[in-house]
Amino acid sequence: MSLFPFFHFLQSTEFATSIRESALVYPVIMMTHLASIALFGGMILMGDLRLLGLAMKDHPVVDVIGRLRIWKRIGFVIMVTCGFLLLAAKAELYYPNPFYWLKMTLLALVGVHALVFHRSVYGNLPAIDRAPQMPGTAKVAAALSLVLWIGLVCAGRWIAYYEPAKTAVQAAHR
Amino acid sequence: MLLLASNPIGDALNSSEYIFPILECFHITGFALSIGTIAIVDLRLLGLGMRNQTPAQLATDVAPWTLAGLGVMLISGPMIFLSDAAMYLRNPSFRFKIGCLLVAIIFNYTIHRKVAMSNGSSSGLSKLVGALSLLLWVGVVAGGLFIAFY
């Protein structure tokens, strides 16, 4: 089953149309999306670098990852909400774009990553601090997180550079 | 002005369709690292986030990563600029961004640093400095994004 009817519906809603047609609202949403990446994406990078033993080694993992968690969550919600609004405004344009789907795949993998490493790493921070040295699982989790998040940002940027074949453009405008 | 119309870096950038987006990816990752690490200190100055550490400890320990991020940002940024220098110079969003950036960098390494190192985390001054720092860096990002919409 094609998801295109859903994308068409999304873009046709009055709400999405008003975002698309506003000269100010659309870029402000995109700016908020980007600013949340800057503010909270950087905190995710620091958490990963801490687990890899590269940054903030004098401070417990509980503090570096745990204390910033609520802020990363707030940032994540703002980022995803803005991202969804950007998608809704131009859904039919995103639909044929492979970088959009790559980005969504990476986003889904971020969710899988969180589930896979919850027990051993992210829900187990005090034990990691007590361990004589950084457990290998934590380092693997951090390295994967770095790859996923940097990949997400790059895929997102590349969405703007995809030039669809003519048929795809025509399909999107039908 | 001839340099602005044509220069080796700009020409190289414009010769490949991939170099420009690759530079942008470096630029975004660089500013995420620098702004994210500065935000960790800002939150602390506001009395939030990593409260088990002092602002001075945080400012000291994130400093190399802030600098690394700034370095990546300040190499990729000017290269992007040189790809179409005349357009950027005419763009009011770009000028706003550069203004915010200069103030933000100077602020970060003077007042922001001094207040963080003095550890007065509950004072009004710390909160003001933390909030101002966040505002300046969001201004830089906003100015950058609006270049494309002007």
Categorize the per-residue pLDDT at A52 as very low, low, confident or very high, splitting at 50, 70 and 90.
very high
CB contact under 8 A, A157 and B25: yes
Chain B positions in Cβ-Cβ contact with residue A63 (cut-off 8 Å): 50, 52-53
Tokens of A155: 């895929």
Binary contact (A38, B31; C-beta < 8 A): yes
Rounded to two decimals, the ipTM of the complex is: 0.90
Task: Find all residues with CB under 8 Å of A52, minimum gap 6, and list them.
Answer: A134, A139, A142, A143
Q: Indicate the helix (H) or strand (E) that contains A77.
A: helix A69-89
Interface mutation vs chain B, best among A22, A24, A30, A31, most B CBs within 10 Å? A31
Other C-beta atoms closer than 10 Å to the C-beta of A133 total 6
The single residue listed with the structure tokens 């080694």 is A57
- On whether the CB atoms of residues B10 and B83 are closer than 8 A, the answer is yes
CA end-to-end span of chain A, whole Å? 18
- At B120 the pLDDT is 63
B49 Rama sector, left if φ>0, alpha if ψ -120 to 50, beta otherwise: left
Sign of CA dihedral B45, B64, B10, A41: negative
Interfacial residues of B (vs A; Cβ cutoff 8 Å)? 17, 21, 24-25, 28-29, 31-37, 39-40, 43, 48-53, 57, 61-62, 64-65, 69, 134, 137-138, 141-142, 144-146, 148-149
* pLDDT for res A174: 44
What local confidence, expressed as pLDDT, does residue A171 receive? 52
Q: What is the pLDDT along chain B (150 residues), one digit of tens a residue?
A: 555 667 777 777 777 778 889 999 999 999 999 999 999 999 999 999 999 999 999 999 999 999 999 999 999 999 999 989 999 999 999 999 999 999 999 999 999 999 999 986 568 999 999 999 999 999 999 999 999 987
Helix boundaries (H) for B1-150 = 2-5, 8-15, 19-45, 55-83, 85-90, 92-107, 113-118, 124-146
**pTM given for the model:** 0.91
Domain spans of chain B, in order of start: 7-149
